[in-house]
Structure 1
């Protein structure tokens, strides 16, 4: 991993605000050492399962129990290390994996997104979105494109971060800032997409499993935070624009190296076939959405729920499949025009590539599914949730203060455990039931988690995409290191987290629904 050059120019040790770069470098080094000491998330969940087993044995031996608020029955902690626990663990292992809530949805969505990505549609869309804006709007355009780019999951970094540098350079701004703005918008705004993403399905599934500890009938839709996400994406793009103009553009170290090979870094230009394919794909998308709307609008539509409801309806139940089909449609239309899809057999081949890319996540899901099943079976989650809720009620801590404390805790965890699905799998079984017992909906807790899961991501070297962004930055400045990139992203990440938190608290105070059928309180 690259470090700032010893004895390098002043720009390599410049200050950002009141935080000297050397201090940032030291802090990042500590974070990196601590993070590297952690096991792979796959093994981390098995270690947690072992700790859970030991804790359940002790608590069961002490006869720990609580009265369930859902049915008034006494719930006793069960010993995972007992014969009964061993039988449960062995007999349900495959079932736990197969029934893991996000599993089917995320696989279906990824197949559709893979067609859109690998046909070249998403890359062409991002290039045109940042290249056809007035000079004064380029910062906002790149920042907002960063939130939209999340539909491409990890590919968003590969596609948009270098495009950010090209877009800024094309309008006479520093390409270094373009890389920083694009990377930070993706990393620190990762869970604020105005378009449903694979992450929405993953988080909703984990939240549903956690909520069912208290309410077995609970269901959290992938669109449960959609309204909040749309507003968040616009607000965060505005924050990035403001801080870039007021702080980052004032830095003296924005010029690329004199010998940087700027001509061979890339281009924003689309070919005639790409432009034509993009137009056809977007036309097909509009027509598909019009057909979908025509099917949903009638009060007696089969896609509506009981009494004509949209909040609980076949439409929302199948939103993952609908998103996958829409992505697949635009990918096929675009790919057919540009030649990346020449025959029908190419489409499932692209889907296979998308699933292959998801293989590490599916392996992690296996471990997560077992841990969550064990946690539920032992009833430790019930005990923690009920006892914590009782303590909170008697303490008189305002809910808003509790939100801030949880946000701070999750933000610290996110610096070390950068996998959102892993962190939420650990925290959701405790936080979601606990807050549900003090009348905070599961969807609201998930929205709070989104802020913490995103905010600090742009400054932690534990994220593999931090290193990737550093590589793009080094195309313009060879001496750039971890501290260099962190010094650029820090004011943006802090500003985004503060304003995003304020938006959440205002949303809560006003009682605005977080998404379809998802009241904030």
Structure 2
């Protein structure tokens, strides 16, 4: 029996176990309600818990100001009055709300004009064969600026890029999907998710520190390094493990797309050059405005870290995306008149409608959590437990990471999971001197790592559809068996990077110390 035969048998024996495990995960996840209803269920549980704790006169001393904070009963008259009278204000004041809307309007222009799709195509088509894995992997981590469109655009392009250099298109689909899914929160370019997470983290931090603020670029430096490290890890695992699998050839009768679709037309290339020039001019102009110490975009004492520029970074990002989108679309013809620009923004906001509906439920839950002071009690008690346990903070990080990774398999919505976890984890770790930005960076790893292996993600099913173009009998277990080695290795490498970052004390982003 040859080594190849042995590999085939081993893969066949592993596959049923993977299929069974994925089936268990899928059934458990399907038993959960929609995230919108999940937050109302959590609100009901919170209401009952607050009534019990208030009846027991549970309270803690706030380490922020030394005052005694007692649990308030959400089912009392005051609680019902609060819930009724503040519902609209809770939604309107939800930190990510305005930020995400502004960012999406700019990103929508860049996406709907065709600029982001062209950028992804050119990023994977002009590389030597030896660099194609890294190029697709890095493009995957950087593609999140296009949100869900990243999956639709880059996953099939990954298959085309690999086939264009004589490699398996199956491997290309797997690499593209896993780099997007398990590297979702590692984008070197600020994304809409950064704004959402920063808003939720800010709200959670204010439970114990009323003046806390976490900016959308608070993890930017860490994200840049993460995207490079993950792309390297994907390249190594693909080269030394996945590429040695014996089942990488597409079906003989598979319908193969035209490789020429990777190439840009002359007009698209011209539009890309013009858009790049416009972006360069905009960045230079912005830099010239910020450079003088007396610049109105700087803060007190000429500070850039605490300045109007960083306070309005979401608007700046939206403006830059809008500029490149308008220039590109005007040259290619996707934008023919000024009225097309707001129309593209509207199209982008339509995609955000499900998120905005979810935000309404999240905003109410977080407001109730804050009003009842259950979060204060949990955070202070958990922090005291951590201090008395004597556990090294690194061990605490690993325990938090393991817990969130398991939860992410079932609750694949990052904003939903962070909205549940942040009100406890952020204050708890703040009380043991771990900055909110650091807890958010830890969450990014858990929110991404296991995404590529869970069938609860709608994009897992989408990727399976792309895989089935090349292998018709591919199933959930097939895709999971490809993505599992990548996802596990990426999570481990990303965790090691975080721990190294923490040990060296490198800032996570502008004005965001790691400890």
Task: State the TM-score bracket (shorter-chain normalisation).
Answer: over 0.9
Assess, with a 3 A threshold, how the Cα gap between structure 1 residues 202 and 328 changes in structure 2: closer, same or farther: same
Contact 1:13 1:484 in 2 (8 A): no
Paired position in structure 2 for 1:497: 491
| 1:283 corresponds to 2:295 | no
Residues in 1 aligned to 2:7 and 2:121: alpha-carbon distance in whole angstroms: 30
Q: Which residue of 301, 306, 324 maps to 1:330?
A: 324
Paired position in structure 2 for 1:7: none
Q: Which string of whole-angstrom CA distances, capped at 9 and with x for unpartnered residues, describes residues 405-440 of structure 1?
A: 000000000000000000000000000000000000
Paired position in structure 2 for 1:234: 228
Contact 2:164 2:259 in 1 (8 A): no
Residues in 2 aligned to 1:15 and 1:360: alpha-carbon distance in whole angstroms: 43
Q: Which residue of 57, 74, 77 maps to 2:71?
A: 77
Q: Where do 1:19-38 residues align within 5 Å?
A: 20-38=14-32
| 1:443 corresponds to 2:437 | yes
| 1:212 corresponds to 2:206 | yes
Helix, strand or coil for the counterpart of 1:303?
coil
Residues in 1 aligned to 2:257 and 2:474: alpha-carbon distance in whole angstroms: 20
Residues in 2 aligned to 1:291 and 1:132: alpha-carbon distance in whole angstroms: 30
Residues in 2 aligned to 1:489 and 1:197: alpha-carbon distance in whole angstroms: 24
Q: Where do 1:313-462 residues align within 5 Å?
A: 313-462=307-456
Offset at 1:300?
1.5
Offset at 1:264?
4.9
Helix, strand or coil for the counterpart of 1:81?
coil
Offset at 1:309?
1.0
Q: Where do 1:31-430 residues align within 5 Å?
A: 31-264=25-258, 267-430=261-424
Residues in 2 aligned to 1:263 and 1:450: alpha-carbon distance in whole angstroms: 35
Offset at 1:45?
0.1
Helix, strand or coil for the counterpart of 2:400?
helix
Helix, strand or coil for the counterpart of 1:520?
coil
Helix, strand or coil for the counterpart of 1:262?
coil
Residues in 1 aligned to 2:59 and 2:394: alpha-carbon distance in whole angstroms: 29
Offset at 1:200?
0.2
Helix, strand or coil for the counterpart of 1:20?
helix
Helix, strand or coil for the counterpart of 2:60?
strand
Contact 1:63 1:76 in 2 (8 A): yes
Offset at 1:91?
0.4
5+ residue gaps, structure 2, are: none
Helix, strand or coil for the counterpart of 1:267?
helix
Instruction: Answer with 506-515 or 295-304: which moved more.
Output: 295-304
Offset at 1:263?
3.9
Contact 1:15 1:487 in 2 (8 A): no
Assess, with a 3 A threshold, how the Cα gap between structure 1 residues 288 and 268 changes in structure 2: closer, same or farther: same
Helix, strand or coil for the counterpart of 2:75?
coil
Offset at 1:21?
1.1
Offset at 1:315?
0.6
Helix, strand or coil for the counterpart of 2:483?
helix
Assess, with a 3 A threshold, how the Cα gap between structure 1 residues 455 and 15 changes in structure 2: closer, same or farther: farther
Helix, strand or coil for the counterpart of 1:214?
coil
Helix, strand or coil for the counterpart of 2:352?
helix
Q: Which string of whole-angstrom CA distances, capped at 9 and with x for unpartnered residues, describes residues 263-282 of structure 1?
A: 45872011111111111101
Contact 2:7 2:245 in 1 (8 A): no
TM-score (norm 1): 0.97
Contact 1:213 1:433 in 2 (8 A): yes
Assess, with a 3 A threshold, how the Cα gap between structure 1 residues 64 and 157 changes in structure 2: closer, same or farther: same
Question: In the comparison of the two structures, how many residue pairs are matched?
Answer: 511
Contact 1:188 1:493 in 2 (8 A): yes
Assess, with a 3 A threshold, how the Cα gap between structure 1 residues 279 and 76 changes in structure 2: closer, same or farther: same
Contact 2:170 2:249 in 1 (8 A): yes
Residues in 1 aligned to 2:18 and 2:261: alpha-carbon distance in whole angstroms: 33
Assess, with a 3 A threshold, how the Cα gap between structure 1 residues 516 and 240 changes in structure 2: closer, same or farther: same
Offset at 1:144?
0.2
Contact 1:206 1:425 in 2 (8 A): yes
Residues in 1 aligned to 2:10 and 2:264: alpha-carbon distance in whole angstroms: 38
Residues in 2 aligned to 1:14 and 1:90: alpha-carbon distance in whole angstroms: 62
Residues in 1 aligned to 2:313 and 2:9: alpha-carbon distance in whole angstroms: 48
Helix, strand or coil for the counterpart of 1:322?
helix
Offset at 1:311?
1.1
Contact 1:12 1:484 in 2 (8 A): no
Offset at 1:226?
0.3
TM-score (norm 2): 0.98
The RMSD of aligned alpha carbons is: 1.4
Helix, strand or coil for the counterpart of 2:86?
helix
Offset at 1:14?
6.2
Q: Which string of whole-angstrom CA distances, capped at 9 and with x for unpartnered residues, describes residues 189-242 of structure 1?
A: 000000000000000000000000010000000000000000000000000000
